[in-house]
């Protein structure tokens, strides 16, 4: 079995893998996401949301892969990043309650596209691949009171787009077109294809 390292602190991403039979080692990266985004946009002013999340995932993955102990069994490193796109604008993590409230007033009753970028490197060979998955969403028409109550839970503050599909925010997503894992932050069908591109079969990373 090939060990898999998840370059993320997200418990939701880890749970997705575990439900599919993969038991990852988690190693969060310490990259400055804002700095990575600025550099990516400076290099490519026309960078779209899907391209941005791939760049963010790459930076996280390279940080973890470059610091992995050489003497350890060479694992497969998987890194991810997600953003919500609304009306052509990228919506990241709000961090602050007043920002989350404003985000929800913007997206309620409307649509958006959740993009998740994924970067994978096989440390045994050095081979790397990256790709993005996108899922379209339609949001419920929340009242101001509902928005305030949801933001008060704290859940929306540190998640892309200020909502979750697998937690308290799930009643507020009325339509989902695409892979739900993309919205959680990791598309397993895409990950399987990416592993195959590197010559790693899915059941090589699944615990048996």
Neighbours of 169 (CB within 10 A): 21
Torsion sign, CA atoms 186, 189, 193, 195: positive
Q: What's the N-to-C CA distance of the chain in angstroms? A: 8
d(CA 185, CA 164): 10
d(CA 67, CA 65): 5
Q: Look at strands 173-177 and 89-91 and give their pairing.
A: unpaired
Q: How many residues does the chain have?
A: 208
81 is catalytic: yes
Number of helical H runs and strand E runs in the chain? 7, 7
Task: Specify which residues 129 forms β-bridges with.
Answer: 120
Pick the catalytic residue: 44, 81, 122, 179? 81
Catalytic sites, residue numbers: 81
């Amino acid at each position: 079995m090939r060990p898999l390292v998840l370059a993320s602190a997200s418990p939701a991403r880890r749970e997705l893998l575990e439900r599919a039979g993969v038991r990852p080692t988690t190693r969060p990266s310490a990259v400055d996401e804002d700095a990575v985004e600025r550099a990516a946009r400076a290099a490519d002013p026309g960078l779209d949301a899907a391209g941005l999340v791939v760049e963010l995932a790459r930076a996280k993955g390279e940080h973890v892969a470059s610091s992995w102990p050489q003497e350890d069994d060479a694992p497969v490193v998987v890194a991810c990043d997600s953003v919500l796109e609304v009306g052509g604008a990228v919506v990241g993590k709000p961090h602050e309650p007043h920002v989350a409230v404003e985000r929800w007033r913007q997206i309620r009753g409307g649509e958006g596209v959740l993009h998740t970028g994924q970067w994978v490197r096989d440390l045994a060979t050095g081979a790397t691949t990256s790709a993005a998955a996108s899922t379209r969403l339609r949001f419920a028409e929340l009242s101001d009171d509902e928005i305030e109550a949801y933001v008060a839970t704290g859940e929306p503050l540190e998640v892309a787009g200020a909502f979750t599909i697998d937690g308290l925010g799930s009643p507020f997503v009325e339509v989902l077109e695409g892979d739900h894992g993309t919205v959680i932050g990791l598309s397993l069908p895409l990950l399987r294809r990416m592993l195959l591109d590197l010559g790693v079969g899915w059941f090589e990373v699944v615990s048996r």
